[in-house]
Amino acid sequence: MKRKIIKQGHNTLTITLPSEWTKRFNLNSGKEIDLTERENGLFLSTEKTGIHKKTEFDITGMDLPTIWKYFMAVYREGYEEVIIKFNPDIQLENPYKFFSHHQLDLRYKKEPDKKHIEEILHGFVTRFIGFEVVEHGKDYIVIREMGEPTSKEFDNSLRRVFLLIQQMAEETLEALKTNNSKMLTHMHDVDINIDKFHDYCIRILNKIGNKEPRKSELLFSTLFLLELLGDEFKSISHHLLYDFKQDIHFNGVITIAQSIKEQFDLFYNLFYNFDKDKLKHLSEIDMGRYFTVTDTRKKTKDDDVKEIFHHLRVIARYINALTELRIEMEF
């Protein structure tokens, strides 16, 4: 919305506030609102946005997955300072395998060595963009946000999520074509990077939101589906690495994977440059693949290959759901 600047007195410039907004928050003459300068704009709020969000929790007695959930919660909710208390005698297993949803990754399952709790917490912190340990004592550490996130960083991080998923799709297709699963050994790390940028985007949305509140809700859902989509590609890489012999051919699967890659590339383009012709093309790709997947899967006797088909079908559903969300953003 636009507002005209009005000159009052010698050096004062004013603008009017939208009546619907003032009514929603019961604002009238004499009440105060908070004004915050952000990048090249001003942010108006009925609450004081400059308040330093601080929290603390004690992880004594928690297992690694629970500690991880606490970390994610305070990070995504936008806390600037977190105090974590613990029993200094605690030792836990390597937390790396809990950095993403796939907790059965054999690369990290074989690491039995336990680590001191402070070392584990430092490892957790490095997983979150912008968080640093600024103080530590015998039974606590203090984590603080270093720098204020901006809408530009949100845009860059979201685009990074897209590019990493494109990388996953491209490398998965190449591994199927060449029957070379070893090229996917780093896929776990790619997925971790997706999770990092995903969480950072969620944090920014919770802290500064979007100029259109409803669009923020759609972006939350979009990010959730993108993360799940990345998990599916990682699951495919896991199957290819550990469940197949080298002499298996994936002719039917390759056709479907090629179609999936083409569809996601087109969706990425559509997301930033919405166009009805691209939307129509997305639908054509999906419809053209629908019966091919069913027929090819019926002809497949190997259960492990059928599992690859299953993950590709899930990815296709996620892309369709993402497309629906993108259409909603146009209204």
- Of 102, 129, 145, the position where a domain reaches its end is 145
Q: 33 and 60 share a domain?
A: no
Q: 195 and 274 share a domain?
A: yes
Q: 318 and 217 share a domain?
A: yes
Contact 278, 327 (CB under 8 A): no
Q: 203 and 252 share a domain?
A: yes
What is the signed CA dihedral for 115, 237, 223, 149, rounded to 10 degrees?
50
Q: 222 and 318 share a domain?
A: yes
Q: 172 and 303 share a domain?
A: yes
- Confidence (pLDDT) at 150: 86
- Confidence (pLDDT) at 221: 97
Q: 243 and 306 share a domain?
A: yes
Q: What own/partner pairs with CB < 8 Å and gap ≥ 24 does 152-160 have?
A: 152/39, 153/200, 153/204, 154/201, 154/204, 154/205, 154/208, 157/129, 157/197, 157/200, 157/201, 157/204, 158/197, 158/201, 158/219, 158/223, 159/272, 160/193, 160/197
- Confidence (pLDDT) at 73: 95
Listed ranges 5-9, 188-192, 317-321; the one with the highest mean pLDDT: 317-321
Spatial separation of the C-alpha atoms in residues 70 and 63, rounded to whole Å: 11
In a domain, 30, yes or no: yes
Q: 185 and 321 share a domain?
A: yes
Residue 3 has pLDDT above 90, yes or no: no
Model confidence, pTM? 0.81
- CATH number of the domain that 19 lies in? 2.10.260
Q: What pLDDT digit, counting tens, does each position of 169-219 carry?
A: 999 999 999 988 899 999 989 999 999 999 999 999 998 877 677 789 999
Spatial separation of the C-alpha atoms in residues 152 and 149, rounded to whole Å: 8
In a domain, 11, yes or no: yes
What is the number of domains present in the chain? 3
In a domain, 122, yes or no: yes
- Mean pLDDT within 306-326: 93
Q: Which residue range forms the structural domain that includes residue 89?
A: 54-145
Lowest mean pLDDT among 4-13, 34-43, 118-127: 34-43
For 164-176, letters b (16+ CB in 10 Å) and e give bbeebbebbbebb
- Confidence (pLDDT) at 95: 63
Residue 104 has pLDDT above 50, yes or no: no
Instruction: Look at residue 58 and give its three-state secondary structure.
Output: strand
Q: What pLDDT digit, counting tens, does each position of 291-303 carry?
A: 676 677 667 777 7
In a domain, 244, yes or no: yes
Residue 24 has pLDDT above 50, yes or no: yes
Residue 103 has pLDDT above 50, yes or no: no
In a domain, 1, yes or no: no
Q: What pLDDT digit, counting tens, does each position of 224-253 carry?
A: 999 999 999 999 999 898 887 666 677 778
Spatial separation of the C-alpha atoms in residues 208 and 157, rounded to whole Å: 15
Q: 172 and 301 share a domain?
A: yes
- CATH number of the domain that 82 lies in? 3.30.110
